[in-house]
Structure 1
Amino acid sequence: MKPGLTRAINPHLLTGAHALGALPDAERAEFEAHLGRCRGCTDEMTGLRKTAAWLGNAVDHVYPHALRSRVLDAVRHVRQVPPTLENVTVFSRRQGFRRATVLISAACVVTAAVAGAHSALTASTFTPMAVSARTHVGDLLSAPDLRLLTARDQAGTAVMSYSRDEMLFLADDLSALPRDRVYQL
């Protein structure tokens, strides 16, 4: 690269070096011309100069003036570390719509499952019965794993106990049948 030409393609990357006075004269002149046109770089330069001044005041001893030129000469011989590349996944619009469709479908399935579970849990009702604990029905109703299931619009309740391996069906408002007919469950 010829001396005097800007090393950085993007002049916005030179704000830190300019704030510290580390640009060669040709690059400094080019960058200062850029500062007149770029408000963002001007604001950044103001902040960087203030920070450099605060850091300079925090130093407890002063380095010799010739040290700066020696460091800048040595830096020219130091090889820079190559930039790291970031892997960025870019999705097309079609892939984005496909993902959105899948997510919306999954949300609908979850909503339906929650609504169904809520409906099943709130549909059961318990109708208290006065039963003596000494009867077979009373013994079943006092089982520790008793489950009551009632359909929403039906007049019956199923009482189940898995530990006893028994089930009882209770019905309300069944019409009386003639003697030759029976209800079957």
Structure 2
Amino acid sequence: MDGPGKELLRAALVLMADHELNNSAFTVRCVASTGAALPAVLCAGLAALSGREHGGHYLLAKEVIVAQLNGADAPALQPMRPGFGHPLYPHGDPRAALLLQMMSPMPQAAGVLALAARAAAIEGAEPNSDFALAALELALDLPPHSGIVLFALARSAGWLAHAAEQAADGGMIRPRARYIGEFGAA
């Protein structure tokens, strides 16, 4: 792949490598703090990413995009639906904005870009990184699930950085929990 597609993939890898202390990064840090081997640390990150509420949002976003583009039984564009809106970015996800901007010269991206513009007009439904990865997959005509594979590959680099930082810190992560319920009669 050459030209804009190559640069788009490179940008996606950089933009998706890390995102603060999200659930997969925290999981990686916890596992790394035990002294686990790097393959186990990466497996922990992938396990967290495999959940519906993390990497699964990409698949849900792609379903909405495809349905909207096909026009058949398309769910309404709504704030905070996977692919639309982000709790950390009330005015739009800058990662998605950059990737979508990079797609603008690509004629094959016209449909996803028009959908992104419609979503952006709805407060709280601006396209997020899950939307951008699904749009990238569709615009570049990549094999199915390439968006989540790209996401996992990018995050793997970020997770290794988190693991190295945690190893250098040397401390084991051990959150505490305190029971706040009521004790029943014995």
- Larger RCO, structures 1/2 (Cα 8 Å, 6+ apart): 2
Which band: TM-score by shorter chain?
Answer: under 0.3
With normalisation by structure 2, the TM-score equals 0.21
With normalisation by structure 1, the TM-score equals 0.21
Q: Which of structures 1 and 2 has the bigger CA Rg?
A: 1
Q: Which has the higher helix share?
A: 2
